[in-house]
């Protein structure tokens, strides 16, 4: 055990881990955070708290994580390199750890062009791989990025993201390898709709034995409507939604579409369970936290193990 992280414990014990996410509100409403968290109680092993998701300003991931921690959750602090330089990020890591947060996800973040501050500077002092490396060095070497020693180094269980569907496809396994080499303990993937392509990617991952060096949590998302399916298919960069899914959503009446989306999501989980190297699931139910429990339950992943 490298850390005290609940997630690490679940994974280390060989269980299929389940994580979900909670987007902080666009305002300083602590109750909103708590309310969202309620749906996930006892349902997941860790709750991802996003960091200015889609480059829109929200309550900081750090603060929301602390709120959730206070409610007894295991928050998973997301951190993007877009908004802060290495000093700010290291400072937050120290603070977070001091407040009991022991799991984090290192990301580069969506470009500001997509958010509500397109005029903002994209910092990118370091990139996500370098962030992983930095957090790992803080933990294992006890050193700041600048080289100085840390007193009581933060012991973070380090996560990274992987997108098996982005281009160039052949680089995707290598990129994962790089993140693992940099120090990623676990991986959360982009939402998987195209299971075939994911399997193809996993083949590459297994060929390099990468699944043995890290825990791979497969990302899934329940689709609310055919419109959402189309939007993800056409408008979201790096998202691969096969036409069959869109057609399947379109084939049912509008009021039945949410149900169909959930069914698809569960079927996907069932298929992914059979893929060698999948260590758990990351369920991204954006603004639909109330349905996570149903999905986890119907996918046969409840109750969550106590470790």
Partner 1 sequence: MEYIKPFKRILLVGCNECVTVCAAGGRKEVGLLASGLHMAVLKSGATIEIREHTLERQCDPEYVEELVPMIDGVEAVMSMACGCGVQEIARRFKNKPVFPALNTKFMGASERQGVWSERCQGCGDCLLGMTGGICPIARCAKQLMNGPCGGSTGGHCEIGEDTDCAWALIWERLKALGQIERYVEITPAKDWRPGGGSGPRKIIREDLAE
Q: Work out how close the CB of 54 gets to partner 1 at its nearest, in angstroms, rounded to a whole number.
A: 11
- Work out whether 171 is an interface residue with partner 1 (CB under 8 A): yes
- Work out whether 125 is an interface residue with partner 1 (CB under 8 A): yes
Q: Work out how close the CB of 76 gets to partner 1 at its nearest, in angstroms, rounded to a whole number.
A: 18
Using the rule CB under 8 A, give the single segment among 24-32, 37-45, 62-70, 121-129 that binds partner 1: 121-129
- Residue 235 CB partners (closer than 8 Å, separation 6+): none
Quickly tell me which residue has 């933990």 as its tokens.
139
Q: Work out how close the CB of 197 gets to partner 1 at its nearest, in angstroms, rounded to a whole number.
A: 14
Instruction: Tell me, residue by residue from 148 to 167, as one string, x for binding to partner 1 by CB under 8 A and - for no binding.
Output: -------------xxx-xxx
Q: Work out how close the CB of 32 gets to partner 1 at its nearest, in angstroms, rounded to a whole number.
A: 28
Instruction: Tell me, residue by residue from 221 to 260, as one string, x for binding to partner 1 by CB under 8 A and - for no binding.
Output: ----------------xx----------------------
Q: Work out how close the CB of 90 gets to partner 1 at its nearest, in angstroms, rounded to a whole number.
A: 11
- Work out whether 202 is an interface residue with partner 1 (CB under 8 A): no
Chosen residue from 4, 35, 127, 290 binding partner 1 by CB under 8 A: 127
- Work out whether 133 is an interface residue with partner 1 (CB under 8 A): yes
- Cβ-contact 138, 86 below 8 angstroms: no
Chosen residue from 43, 77, 79, 134 binding partner 1 by CB under 8 A: 134
- Cβ-contact 79, 52 below 8 angstroms: no
Chosen residue from 113, 117, 254, 256 binding partner 1 by CB under 8 A: 113
- Cβ-contact 223, 248 below 8 angstroms: no
User: CA–CA separation, 113 vs 190, rounded Å?
Assistant: 20
Of 156 and 296, which has the nearer Cβ to partner 1?
Answer: 156
Chosen residue from 14, 27, 147, 168 binding partner 1 by CB under 8 A: 168
- Cβ-contact 179, 132 below 8 angstroms: yes
**Alpha-carbon distances, residue 228 vs 89, 105, 249, 254, 284 (angstroms):** 34, 26, 10, 12, 14
- Cβ-contact 157, 104 below 8 angstroms: yes
Question: How would DSSP label each residue in 228-245?
Answer: HHHHHHHHSTT----HHH
Of 127 and 297, which has the nearer Cβ to partner 1?
Answer: 127
Using the rule CB under 8 A, give the single segment among 60-68, 93-101, 109-117, 272-280 that binds partner 1: 109-117
Q: Which of residues 48-107 bind partner 1 (CB under 8 A)?
A: 81-82, 86
Chosen residue from 15, 84, 178, 233 binding partner 1 by CB under 8 A: 178
Element (H, E) at 282: strand 278-283
Q: Work out how close the CB of 183 gets to partner 1 at its nearest, in angstroms, rounded to a whole number.
A: 10
- List interacting residues with partner 1 (CB under 8 A): 81-82, 86, 108-111, 113-114, 122, 124-130, 133-134, 145, 161-163, 165-168, 170-171, 174-175, 177-178, 181-182, 190, 237-238
């Amino acid at each position: 055990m490298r850390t005290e992280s609940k997630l690490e414990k679940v994974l280390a014990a060989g269980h299929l881990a389940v994580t979900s996410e909670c987007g902080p509100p666009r305002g300083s409403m602590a109750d909103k955070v708590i309310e969202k968290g309620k749906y996930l109680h006892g349902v997941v092993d860790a709750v991802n708290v996003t960091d200015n998701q889609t480059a829109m300003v929200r309550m900081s991931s750090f603060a929301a994580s602390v709120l959730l921690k206070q409610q007894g959750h295991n928050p998973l602090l997301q951190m993007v390199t877009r908004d802060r330089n290495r000093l700010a990020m290291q400072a937050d890591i120290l603070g977070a750890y001091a407040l009991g947060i022991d799991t984090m996800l290192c990301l580069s973040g969506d470009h500001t062009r997509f958010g509500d501050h397109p005029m903002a500077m994209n910092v990118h002092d370091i990139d996500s791989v370098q962030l992983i490396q930095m957090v790992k060095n803080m933990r294992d070497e006890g050193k700041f990025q600048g080289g100085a020693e840390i007193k009581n180094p933060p012991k973070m269980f380090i996560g990274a993201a992987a997108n098996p569907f982005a281009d160039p496809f052949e680089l995707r396994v290598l990129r994962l390898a790089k993140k693992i080499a940099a120090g990623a303990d676990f991986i959360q993937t982009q939402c998987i709709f195209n299971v075939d392509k994911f399997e193809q990617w996993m083949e590459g991952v297994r060929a390099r034995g990468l699944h043995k060096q890290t825990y791979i949590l497969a990302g899934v998302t329940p689709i609310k409507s055919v419109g959402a399916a189309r939007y993800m298919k056409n408008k979201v960069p790096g998202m691969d939604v096969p036409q069959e899914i869109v057609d399947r959503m379109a084939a049912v009446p509008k009021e039945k579409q949410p149900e169909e989306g959930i069914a698809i999501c569960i079927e996907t989980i069932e298929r992914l369970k059979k893929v060698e190297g999948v260590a758990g699931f990351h369920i991204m139910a954006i603004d639909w936290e109330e349905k996570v429990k149903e999905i986890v339950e119907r996918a046969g992943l409840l109750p969550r193990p106590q470790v």
